[in-house]
Amino acid sequence: MAYYSPIDLPSALDIIKDRAHKIVAGGTDVYPSMKQGQTPSSFLDVTRIKELSGVVQNEAGTRIGATATWSDIVKADLPAEFRGLKEAAREVGSLQIQNAGTIAGNICNASPAADGVPPLLALNAQVELASAARGTRTLALSDFILGVRQTALMPDEIVTAIYIPPELDNTGSAFEKLGCRRYLVISISMTAANISLDSFGRISKARVAVGACSAVAQRLPMLERHLIGNRIEGIEVLAKHLTPLSPIDDVRGSGAYRLDVVQEQCKRAILRAAGS
C-alpha cells in the first residue's frame, strides 16, 4: 500500500493525474468503512496542503477550504446565515471527530444522512474541483452529489473548496436533527432552513433542505415557493410540500414516521431561522 502526503496542490494533482488514489483528510469516514482485504492500493493525504485549509469571507462570498474541519467551522466568525451550518457541525460525531473530520470529506462520502449537506444546500453552496488536465470547475452541491455514495468527482480531481455566495441582509438560518439519542448518532431525519425577511417582516427568500429522507438530501421547492411573501406568523408546512422526499423504512424509523418528523422539523427550522 502506497501513501502520499504532498504539501501543495499542484503536486497532489500530479500524483492522481494518471492513476486513481483514495483521497483522505480526516479519515473519519474512510477508515471505518473499509472491509477486510479490500484496502485501497494507495492513499493521497491532502491535510498538509495549505491551499485547501481555512475559512475566508469577503464581498464575493465565503470560501471554506476542503480540509477545514467541523471545529474550524464552529470557531469561524461567520454571520447569521451560517448558524445552521454551525449547528450541524456540532452534531457531527464526537468532539474528536469534529476536530478531524472535514467538510469536503462529508460531502464526498455522499451519505444520505450526512449532517453537513442540508445546511450547505440551504446556503446554495457550490463545490470547487481541480484537475491537472482540465483545470478548475465549479458545480452546485445539488449537482455534485448524485446518489448514495456517488458524486460527480472524476478520478483525477480533488475537491478544493466549498463556496457560499453572499446572502441578503436580514437572513437567518437553523438546523434540526432527530436521532435515537442526543449525540454520536446517525440522523433519522434532519432539516436546514435559510430565511430572509424584507423590511415589512415578510419572507423574501427561503431555502429549506432535508436529509436522511431520500437517496440524496434535497431542497423542497414547493415549500419554498409557498413561504415567499408570507409573514412568519401562522406559517404552515403541509404534507404536499414534502412530495420530493422518499424516506425508507429501516432500523432507525419508518418512512411514514420520517415524513411526520420532517413536517414538524421544517416548521421549527423556518421559525428559528426567521428569529421567532
Local confidence pLDDT in tens for the 276 residues of the chain: 899 999 999 999 999 999 889 999 999 988 778 877 778 889 999 999 999 999 999 999 999 999 999 999 999 999 999 999 999 999 998 999 999 999 999 999 999 999 999 999 999 999 999 999 999 999 999 999 999 999 999 999 999 999 999 998 899 999 999 998 877 789 999 999 999 999 999 999 999 999 999 999 999 999 999 999 999 998 999 999 999 999 999 999 999 999 999 999 999 999 999 996
Residue 175: Cβ within 10 Å count: 28
Q: Say if CB 210 and CB 191 are below 8 A apart.
A: yes
Residue 39's pLDDT is: 83
Q: How would you classify the pairing of strands 126-131 and 157-164?
A: antiparallel
Q: Encode 135-154: b = buried (16+ Cβ within 10 Å), e = exposed.
A: eeeebebbebbeeeeebebe
Residue 183's pLDDT is: 73
47: left (phi over 0), alpha (psi -120 to 50) or beta: alpha
Q: Write the CB contacts of 112 (distance below 8 Å, at least 6 apart in sequence).
A: 148, 211, 212, 213, 214, 215, 216, 217
pTM of the model: 0.96
Q: Write the CB contacts of 247 (distance below 8 Å, at least 6 apart in sequence).
A: 189, 212, 213, 214, 255, 258, 259, 262
Residue 40's pLDDT is: 87
Q: Write the CB contacts of 138 (distance below 8 Å, at least 6 apart in sequence).
A: 126, 127, 128, 129, 163
Report the CATH superfamily, name and number, of domain 171-273: CO dehydrogenase flavoprotein, C-terminal domain (3.30.390.50)
Q: Is 231 helix (H, G, I), strand (E, B) or coil?
A: strand
Distance CA 104, CA 162 (A): 8
Residue 24's pLDDT is: 95
Q: How far is CA 138 from the centre of its chain?
A: 16
Residue 87's pLDDT is: 98
Distance CA 130, CA 55 (A): 18
| Domain parsing of the chain, residue ranges | 171-273
Q: Is 181 helix (H, G, I), strand (E, B) or coil?
A: coil
Distance CA 203, CA 234 (A): 12
Residue 77: Cβ within 10 Å count: 7
Residue 255's pLDDT is: 97
275: left (phi over 0), alpha (psi -120 to 50) or beta: left
